[in-house]
Amino acid sequence: MATATYLSFSAPPSSCAGRQRRRQATRASASATDQPREVVSPKRRLPLRKVPGDYGPPVVGALRDRLEYFYGPGGRDGFFTARVRAHGSTVVRLNMPPGPFVARDPRVVALLDAASFPVLFDTSLVDKTDLFTGTFMPSTDLTGGYRVLSYVDPSEPNHGPLKALLFYLLSHRRQHVIPKFREVYGDLFGLMENELARAGKADFGQYNDAAAFSFLCQALLGRDPAESALQGDGPKLITKWVLFQLSPLLNLGLPKLVEDSLLHSFRLPPALVRKDYDRLADFFRDAARGVVDEGDRLGVPREEAVHNIVFAMCFNSFGGMKILFPSLVKWLGRAGARTHGRLATEVRDAVRAHGGEVTMKALSEMPLVKSAVYEALRIEPPVAMQYGRAKRDMVVESHDYGFEVREGEMLFGYQPMATKDPRVFARPEEYVPDRFLGEDGARLLRHVVWSNGPETASPTLQDKQCAGKDFVVLIARLLVAELFLRYDSFDVQVGASALGSSVTITSLKKATF
């Protein structure tokens, strides 16, 4: 499968007059014929087509799309699938929520296949300034008055030092990650066993929230939040704080008119969560003192470092575990006893071969575990959406056509459609745990893009790929290993939640071999 290529039709941004002449010429040419015309690419020749779709009347069109997105048939996936079907194209124009009156401009060019999606990773072509949550940016009052790293484009001078700080946060206590994970998640499974014996079922998400925050603080900072002024309140405070940032994008199951008016039309006032956020910041200001010192050496002001650490630990890391871990348990639970047996055998054989210890070497000898994690990240990526603003006129290629995109237009990618593209993945809607085994599986990894970049790449100071990409994959593999060291099989019930899946464990069959 060929990789998408991009052609620039414009000179550098400073050449305004030339750019205007070229746009006039392009419009004149486009109006001369509605038929696709050929565009020469360095790698392939594809017919050039106008991006289909429209935005509708101002305000009204955005409101229409918002209601269909949140409340239409088929939900979010149905919204995008209907547009692809209506226009016969995986690159379309549409309005993305929240629209009025939260976002100034909801208009996007949506990239809904694996070929077009990767343009969003190329920071020479797209600008990422203030686009982490999409067409609107939450108030900096929610992050101590600072634009944290997720909203900073690599072209900005503070991007490199801030990302270097996160690399340090994730790596400076790496020898503690595996033992602390096993300790904390071992306790989680003990608690769940007790709850199953008492009530016949156990809410994985509830226990996971407490374990995830405790693990992150102990492994990365060497501090147990339960022994601080936070006590056990961390997950509750974080969840409320995240709600105030993402409420315009969430569906909480309230009555439609109430929810759309309350959450999607106006921002929740940051003042209502300030005391909660201050408690979190006070904890990290003390617990992360050594990391803040490193920020000093990198040229990051101490308070800016504190608020970036809060965001990285609470929004990115804790938020990621809150979404990914229930999703992983859901897909594994549905995979059935045969898959469970294969995983249990692989995990236990590898651990026995290394003296009964879970080590990096032992994990490297669990290829099915790693594939099962990648498959969960493919079928239900924890961050579903990516945005970027075109830095210049360009052509974005789908599998079949090239599409002209103008400088300043917003590009939006819906990742689940890219990672379930049937022209890349066989049985794309199925969870296939061994999909990424062998040479053929390894070739597919470049299409696993949950981290704002391909799984075959590593994050750098110059890009927007997730700084914690490898850390996330590691702890997800640890969860699978811990699960199948303890249990032969397990059963789940699955529901929906505002952030991913709600998973209830209904049985845990203890290890017998």
Three-state SS string over 67-78 comes to HHHHHCCCHHHH
Question: HSE on the CB side for 86, CA within 13 Å?
Answer: 13
466 labelled ligand-binding: yes
Query: Is 119 in contact with 411 (CB distance < 8 Å)?
Result: yes
| Spatial CA neighbour of 431 closest among 377, 381, 375, 382 | 375
> DSSP characters for 90-140?
SEEEEE-SS-TTT-S--EEEEE-STTTGGGGG-TTTEE-TT-SSSSS---G
Query: Is 416 in contact with 424 (CB distance < 8 Å)?
Result: no
Residue 12 CA to residue 324 CA, distance in Å, equals: 41
| Tokens, residue 27 | 């419009």
Query: Is 135 in contact with 95 (CB distance < 8 Å)?
Result: no
- Amino acid present at 137: M
Collapsed DSSP state (helix, strand, coil) of residue 292: helix
What is the chain's alpha carbon radius of gyration, rounded to the nearest angstrom?
24
| Spatial CA neighbour of 291 closest among 314, 316, 320, 312 | 312
Sheet containing 385-390, strands listed edge to edge, beginning at the edge strand earlier in sequence? 91-95, 107-111, 410-414, 385-390, 126-127
Task: Count the neighbouring beta carbons within 10 Å of the beta carbon of residue 448.
Answer: 23
| Spatial CA neighbour of 394 closest among 44, 128, 4 | 4
Backbone angles phi, psi at 214, to 5 degrees: -60, -45
Residue 447 CA to residue 394 CA, distance in Å, equals: 22
DSSP structure class, residue 269: P
Q: What share of the chain is helix, strand, coil (3-state, %, to 5)?
A: 50, 15, 35
> DSSP characters for 20-39?
HHHHHHHHHHHHH--S-EEE
Task: Count the neighbouring beta carbons within 10 Å of the beta carbon of residue 162.
Answer: 25
Residue 10 CA to residue 6 CA, distance in Å, equals: 12
Helices (H), 200-336: 204-221, 234-246, 256-259, 274-287, 289-298, 302-310, 319-335
Task: Indicate the helix (H) or strand (E) that contains 414.
Answer: strand 410-414
Residue 434 CA to residue 343 CA, distance in Å, equals: 10
Query: Is 465 in contact with 455 (CB distance < 8 Å)?
Result: no
Binding residues: 466
Known binding-site residues for heme equal 466
